[in-house]
Structure 1
Amino acid sequence: MPQHFLMSATARTVSLKQVARMTDGEARALFRQIRWPDTKGAAVCPYCDCPKCYEYTTRIVFKCKACRRQFSETSGTLFASRKLPIRDYLIAIIIFVNAVKGISALQLGRDLDVQYKTAYVLAHKLREAMAAEVRGVVLGGDGADVEVDGCYVGGHVRPENRKEDRKDRRLAENQTGKRQVVVVARERDGRTLTQVFGSEDESVSFIKARVDRASTVHADEAAGWNSLHARFNMKRINHQEAYSADDACTNQAESYFARLRRAQWGQYHRIGGKYLNRYAAEMAWREDQRRTSNGEQFRTVGFRAAALPPSVDWCGYWQRGRAA
């Protein structure tokens, strides 16, 4: 019986133990290599992109010879204005990517020995780095198969204790109005895109914009997908009759939803409605990277975090400076 990839040695190319044993200098050198791979870790000015920079001998700061501005390894990145050592951020990235179904901010805070709010913001910054990988990506093309489906999340109404007091929670007047649908468009052997809407009908424009017109779109029997027939070659599957028939199925989309549900039930327990899109994008990234080693995932997230500018949503979040 073939061994599952996650159980093989090729899935483990970096360990938490390796990074935790690094000195501050070794951790900084590793972060520099991740941030500036083209110069093999040599500093490049984040303000004018000049490679001619020198490091102070008295403190850990660089200065650009062109614009004369000072900067550190994390200046101009998601980790700008950091308070923790570089090594702690590298440890956080490893812990985050090793958790195949996500990790709660409470657990991350305990592992790093930081406050809950520190871990909460850090986790969301890493999710932002993950989501940046598919920014502007268009799926499919040339007859490629793309599966679309929706998964409703939130809006739970707890039933009353006594039977005579209970109401039919399927009726709109007895719902909270907080129910949202995570719509996924997933190319077979390709990338996964997600977005949150109020209903599946509202997602049609998103699918038309992010899926190439030459693709073959697979969808279930939901009426919300009927309007896609005017633009795409469609294959529909009625799940009341079969999960796969005549080469039509949405099994890859359902596989993504399984990971999202496991994260919701087992790790996060409750996901705030305005943050649902971030968690959905995180699970899409994890699903796409499920066959890559943790070392490659570590470097990918680290590079994305270093390439992105300071977060608009999460910089000053706890000081009410931003409305994430």
Structure 2
Amino acid sequence: MAAILNQPHFQDAEKAREYLEALRWPHGVVCPHCGVIGSATALTGNKNYRPGLYKCTACTDQFTVTVGTVFERSKIALNVWLQAVHLMCASKKGISAKQLERMLGVTYKTAWFMAHRIREAMKSESGSLLGGPGSSGIVEADETYWGNATDENDKPVAKPRGGFRHKMMIVSLVERDGNKRSIHVPNVNGQSLAAVLKSQVSEKARLMTDSAKYYRKVGKEFASHEYVDHGKKEYARGDVTTNTVECSFAILKRGLIGTFHSVSEKHLQRYCTEFDYRWNTRTTAGYSDTMRADALLAQIGGKRLTYRRTDCQPQALV
């Protein structure tokens, strides 16, 4: 069996373009400017026309398959982009920009920017609430802490005598046998958790948490709120547990600690999004590495990210 990166679309830019067109336009060429399907004509016969250039007969604009995507205006060959997508989708605990630099043969700055553009494409397109119809109805919620928080001047917050106020805070919601959403929040308290839960979880869901008091009030707004008391060494009571969300934290922390080592607060949400995407397209959900990468390529439209919007400061220097 040939190595996966030896496939034609990973080795040849034209094959990569054809592969991406088949994924993005399964029902015919779609104009990214006006949205009309099947009205575009391939421009050929002129040496000035680059391969894959189309003209929409409805709005008369020209475009390629990368217009309006995270790949737009990139000088990196499309087959190299597909290699980067596959590597990030297949790496359970992530892959650092330095590793992408070595494997893809690009500069570190380029690898870092490519990784952030791919993370932009990993953002969920579903606006549905967790625990709603068609799901198990059970949503586990928990929070975790990472690194050291920074102030408005990007300076580390002073460490208090106790507690986690100097840490960056992440709240994760995991649908039992379903999807996960992680949100980087400035504070963990009743107000911030209520805002997250109300915006992300169906009121018909069974909410399951630990015994932290800041879940008590907002928990009354769901079908039920059940919790386990870790202080009494209770980790499961029937089907009431937070083991699933805590398992997801283990994978996230292994990636942040072992792969990236250092992730700044201004980029933390992007890394959470990356780990959420791989969780939501995990093997037990029926995805292979190739299917996971293909699913990502199918949703790259409308998610263009410029270097300026990333604050132009490469992070995670490993």
TM category, shorter: 0.7 to 0.9
Distance in 1 (alpha carbons) for counterparts of 2:139 and 2:311? 42
- Which residue of the partner structure matches residue 216 of structure 1? 206
Tell me the equivalent position of 1:150.
143
* Residue in 2 that maps onto 1:191: 179
SS at match of 2:140: strand
Q: Which runs of 5+ in 2 are unaligned?
A: 151-157, 313-318
Aligned residue for 1:55? 42
Q: Report how many residues are paired.
A: 291
The offset of 1:237, in angstroms, is 0.5
| Residue 25, structure 1, aligned to residue 25, structure 2 | no
From the superposition, tell whether residues 226 and 117 of structure 1 become closer, same or farther in structure 2 (CA, over 3 Å): same
1:239 pairs, out of 213, 224, 230, with: 230
Aligned to 2:32: 46
Tell which deviates more after alignment, 254-263 or 68-77.
68-77
The alignment status of 1:290 with 2:282, answered yes or no, reads yes
C-alpha distance after superposition, 1:26-45 (max 9, x if no partner):
22110111121222xxx322
CA distance in 2, matches of 1:267, 1:33: 33
* Residues 309, 254 of structure 1: alpha-carbon distance in 2 compared, 3 angstrom cutoff: closer
Q: How far, CA to CA, are the matches of 1:13 and 1:228 in structure 2?
A: 53
Do the aligned partners of residues 302 and 146 (structure 1) sit closer, same or farther apart at CA in structure 2, a change above 3 Å counting?
A: same
Aligned partners of 1:13, 1:246: CA distance in 2, in Å? Answer: 46
The amino acid across from 2:21 in the alignment is R
Instruction: Calculate the TM-score normalised by the size of structure 2.
Output: 0.83
Structure 1 window deviating more from structure 2 (68-77 vs 188-197): it is 68-77
Classify 1:317/1:141 alpha carbon distance in 2 versus 1 (closer, same or farther; 3 Å): closer
Confirm whether residue 179 of structure 1 aligns to residue 174 of structure 2.
no
- 2:298 is paired with a residue whose SS is helix
Q: Does 1:301 align with 2:284?
A: no
Taking a change above 3 Å as real, the CA distance of residues 198 and 316 of structure 1, as seen in their structure-2 partners, is closer
Q: 1:38 to 1:14 in 2, by over 3 A?
A: farther
CA distance in 2, matches of 1:98, 1:319: 27
Asked if the contact 1:132/1:304 (under 8 Å) is kept, the reply is no
Structure 1 residue runs without a partner (length 5+): 1-11, 158-167
Identity level (%): 29
The secondary structure found in structure 2 opposite 1:133 is coil
With the length of structure 1 as denominator, give the TM-score of the two structures. 0.82
| 8 Å CA contact retained: 2:10, 2:83 | no
Letter in structure 1 aligned against 2:198: K
Match of 1:204 in 2: 194
Residues in 2 aligned to 1:80 and 1:260: alpha-carbon distance in whole angstroms:
30
Q: Deviations over 1:251-292 (max 9, x none)?
A: 010011001101011111011101111111211111121211
Quote the offset at 1:128 in angstroms: 1.4
Partner of 1:64: 56
- Cα RMSD (Å) of the superposition? 2.7
CA distance in 1 between partners of 2:128 and 2:3 (Å): 29
